[in-house]
Amino acid sequence: MDEPFKLGKGSKLRYGENPHQEGWFYETEDGANDPLAIGKFQYLQGKELSYNNYLDMDGALYALSHLGGEKPACVIVKHTNPCGASRRDTISDAYQGAWYDGDPLAAFGGVMAVNREVDAPLAEKMIQNFFEILMTPSITPEALQIFTKKPNIRVMVNPALENPTPADAKQIHKIRGGVLMQDADTKTVTKDMLKIVTKRVPSDAEIHDMLFAWAVCRATKSNTVVAVKNETLIASGAGQQDRKRCAELCVSKGGEKMKGAVAASDAFFPFPDALQVLINSGVTAVIQPGGSVKDADVIKAADDAGIAMVFSGVRAFRH
């Protein structure tokens, strides 16, 4: 097998993940053909990038890539997980949905990526909140002038963000004494792939939201359960060791907004308990991979509650 990558130009960072660690960033060969390689962003203003900034930017690019460029979209990432995500008719509305309808507490100090130009009215809205980085395909001179009021915010531009797609390069993870390598997870879940397993058939609007929920869910660290309403992330239970706790965390964050929402799970429900948590919160439809030995029990719980459920047939673990 060919070498997965060779290290190219490098730079020393202020420090690593924590101040007592040293850190570096190196470009790799696969970035030469990747229009969204972080090294291809134009750096317009702001503080020096940190090790954690690079990780969060990569997470934001991954999430936005799975939302695509067909509609204006905004994602906000904190500690590599989306805490805000929205697709709307305008980028201003997408920002509004991502920040205020998602998890504003988590969004504080996060990294934001949008797939449309930032103009002056949107810039004025954005600087009312604190975040570390704005990644955008373009920004008007007037908007950039407004950002000078917040000189520490990094503003990074790359025209390829207008139509973001997932990277197809091999994924590498260093472990003790070795390296893990795998194909990139670029598999798309479409409406035609969904298997309706409940008596109630989901509406077109629910299917639309479930596919959006799946895109956000797959960009979130496992285990995870997310809730979506009107193509907007309203709550996320990310990085938990059991699926019931994922659902409980999601519901606790979503509160009353859970009523009428749809939910996505990155892997199957091993028991009906996590699904029941979502049912009790008012969720009307759920997308999950399926494949549990308890699928029949989970489907029965959905049918007993009168909600819709579909199987994607695709697991989306992200570690």
Domain segments of the chain: what residues? 7-162, 191-311
Give residue 221's identity as a one-letter amino acid code: K
Query: CA 131, CA 195: separation in Å to the nearest integer?
Result: 40
Summarised one tens digit per residue, pLDDT across range 72-106 is 999 999 999 999 999 999 999 999 999 999 999 99
Domain 191-311: give its CATH architecture.
3-Layer(aba) Sandwich (3.40)
Helix (H, G, I), strand (E, B) or coil at 46: coil
Residue 256 DSSP symbol:
G
- What is the pTM assigned to this prediction? 0.95
CATH 3.40.605.10 assigned to 7-162:
no
Distance of CA 85 to the CA centre of its chain: 7
Summarised one tens digit per residue, pLDDT across range 191-236 is 999 999 999 999 999 999 999 999 999 999 999 999 999 999 999 9
- 191-311 has the same fold as 7-162: yes
Residue 68 region by backbone torsions, left for phi larger than 0, else alpha for psi between -120 and 50, else beta: left
Output the CA–CA distances (angstroms, integers) from residue 302 to 85, 245, 264, 271, in the order listed.
27, 19, 14, 12
The answer to whether 135 and 60 have CB atoms below 8 angstroms apart is: yes
